[in-house]
Amino acid sequence: MFDLVALDADDTLWHNEPLYRTARDRFCALLGDGFAPDLIDERLYETERRNLEHFGYGVKGFVLSLIETGLDLTGGRLAGDDIRKIIDWGREMLASPVELLDCAREAVEALASEFPLILVTKGDLFHQESKLARSGLGHLFRGVEIVTEKDADVYRRVMARYSVVPEHFVMVGNSLRSDVLPVLEAGAHAVHVPYDISWVHERVAPEALADLHFHEVAHIRELAPLLHRLAREA
Amino acid sequence: MFDLVALDADDTLWHNEPLYRTARDRFCALLGDGFAPDLIDERLYETERRNLEHFGYGVKGFVLSLIETGLDLTGGRLAGDDIRKIIDWGREMLASPVELLDCAREAVEALASEFPLILVTKGDLFHQESKLARSGLGHLFRGVEIVTEKDADVYRRVMARYSVVPEHFVMVGNSLRSDVLPVLEAGAHAVHVPYDISWVHERVAPEALADLHFHEVAHIRELAPLLHRLAREA
């Protein structure tokens, strides 16, 4: 039934969002008590959202958004040393070890023994390639597609590239907005594997999910058994 | 003879380096007369080279390197407004119109009528995709490979992906370091099309070219005739 199984990476195979949360906490601490964390979050997200069309996803754009938000909130009075610190956090985020989710390696190995796998991840090409290399999982994937946005057209192009029809393609990931909705729109299958925390940008209103059919597993280790069962039932 | 012709993009099909030069000139003006342009260039390149392993190629990393260099040179006393300006330059660079080189469109159309073409470019995925879309040349390419580095292994992977042997693959670009040397190392053909100016990082010592066999044309409009002739002679 599945000619190709596609996996998301950030917060599906390895932890990612916590790095952004840590940077955000440091940013709040840097700005000090004069600014409520909620206000900082709101302004930061406004800046990030505005910058997405220019910078795309990833750490470098996030760092630039942190600097801009800091300058906005302080009326331009962010010290040079503080700006240096923010850039240092960015380098730390980019260099930080790839921490696989619990049982992710075993789950991907089990999948790879049964299905051709690809990785489909958005964000920064340089950083994502580096994380995949450091994850030690690279050899389990037949292909890696690093894309700038995950919409239905991008999934259609990925399927065309691998000569797979939507009925035989399944995408697995933690983001309803990126890994589930556009995949269903393209006529393919999707499995949602929720992660503890999510970036506000990736959230989806419950109404958007009404009448949609997709699968959900609580943990990635349940994925191979689910796909095995679906393939057998088909 | 050529089953696949690969073209570089920045400064091969469209102007790119002038945008960096303009930003560098603005940066010198921003820092003022207290700093010699040569010193600024030297420090900026040091910072860029150090950051390459963290940030990779592209405008966002360049902007972060400008900010760091500015903080270094001024002992951390760069005003908030100046930092904002530098980030604005980055957004401008990313949004600036794609200016094709003289006759580039005609040259690519002529090539596309005779050979399967792909684009192989390094840098930021988001920005390169956006530039290709805005160039109006996208439909002439059978594939687009945006890579983090152009070394022999990357070219080998590209050839494998398109099932082409090195003897039947040719790469065309303005950078001896990125578009010629690693291609020859991978056993394939290369055509150098020099561009007026080059980033110091892309330069190659003349000794490195000794005993190497590659082609050079002065202008991209000479490319289709050259490849046509080579294909006929083979």
pLDDT in tens, B17-52: 999 999 999 999 999 989 999 999 999 999 999 999
Tokens of residue B75, six digits: 């002992």
SS3 state at B190? strand
CB atoms within 10 A of CB A21: 11
Residues of chain A found within 8 Å of residue B60, distances taken between Cβ atoms: 55, 60-61, 64
- pLDDT classification of A201: cutoffs 50, 70, 90: confident
Work out the mean pLDDT of chain B and round it to a whole number. Answer: 95
User: What is the reported pLDDT for B191?
Assistant: 97
- Count the neighbouring beta carbons within 10 Å of the beta carbon of residue B206: 7
pLDDT reported for residue A234: 75
Q: How far apart are CA B142 and CA B158, in angstroms?
A: 13
In angstroms, the CA A112 to CA A118 distance is: 10
The number of CA neighbours under 13 Å toward the Cβ of A72 is: 16
DSSP letter, residue A212: -
DSSP-derived secondary structure letter, B101:
P
* Both structure tokens of A7: 């996996």
What is the model's pLDDT at position A208? 85
Sign of the Cα torsion B200, B201, B203, B207 reads positive
The 8-class DSSP code of residue A117 comes to E
Checking if the pLDDT of A60 tops 90, the result is yes
Mutate to test the interface with B, among A52, A55, A146, A153 (most CBs of B within 10 A): A55
| Residue written as token pair 């191979």 | A224
- Residue B106 tokens read as 């005609």
Q: What is the pLDDT of residues B206-220, one digit of tens each?
A: 888 888 999 999 999
Residue A198, pLDDT score: 83
Strands B143-147 and A117-122: unpaired
Is a pLDDT exceeding 90 seen at residue A137?
yes
Instruction: Tell me what pLDDT residue A197 has.
Output: 85
**Residue A30 reports pLDDT greater than 80:** yes
Burial pattern A97-135, b for ≥16 Cβ within 10 A else e, equals ebebbeebbebbebbbeebbbbbbbbbbbbbbbbbbeeb
| pLDDT > 70: percent of chain B | 100
Q: What is the pLDDT of residue B12?
A: 97
The answer to whether the CB atoms of B87 and A78 lie below 8 A apart is: no
Q: In the structure, what pLDDT confidence band is assigned to residue B126 with cuts at 50, 70 and 90? A: confident
pLDDT exceeds 90 at position B96: yes
Alpha carbon of residue B81 to chain centroid: 31
pLDDT above 90 coverage of chain B, percent:
87
> What pLDDT is recorded for position B140?
97
Place of tokens 């594997």: A193
pLDDT of residue A207: 86
Q: Show the tokens assigned to B211.
A: 């005993």
Separation of alpha carbons B146 and B126, rounded Å: 10
Beta bridge partners of B146: B121
Instruction: Give yes or no for a contact between B5 and B117, defined as CB atoms under 8 angstroms apart.
Output: yes
Please answer yes or no on whether B80 and A71 come within 8 Å at the CB atom. Answer: yes
The least confident of A201-205, B79-83, B98-102, B121-125 is: A201-205
Q: What's the mean pLDDT when you consider all of chain A?
A: 94
pLDDT confidence bin for B202, thresholds 50/70/90 = confident
The tokens for A50 are 């505005």
In the sheet that holds A189-192, the strands lie side by side as A143-147, A117-122, A4-7, A169-173, A189-192, A215-216
**Structure-token match 């022999």, residue found:** B152
For position A160, what pLDDT does the model report?
Answer: 95
Is the pLDDT assigned to residue B234 strictly greater than 80?
no
Residue A216 C-alpha, separation from nearest chain B C-alpha, in angstroms: 30
Give pLDDT, residue B160.
Answer: 95
Nearest to B54 among A79, A83, A94 (CB): A94
Q: What was the ipTM of the complex prediction?
A: 0.89
Bridge partners (DSSP) of residue B167 are: none
Query: Could you write out the DSSP letters of every residue in A65-78?
Result: HHHHHHHHHTTT--
Residues of B in contact with A74 (CB under 8 A): 80
- The CA-based angle A148-A150-A152, given to 5 degrees, is 130
With an 8 Å Cβ cutoff, are A127 and B78 in contact? no
Please state the pTM of the whole predicted model: 0.90
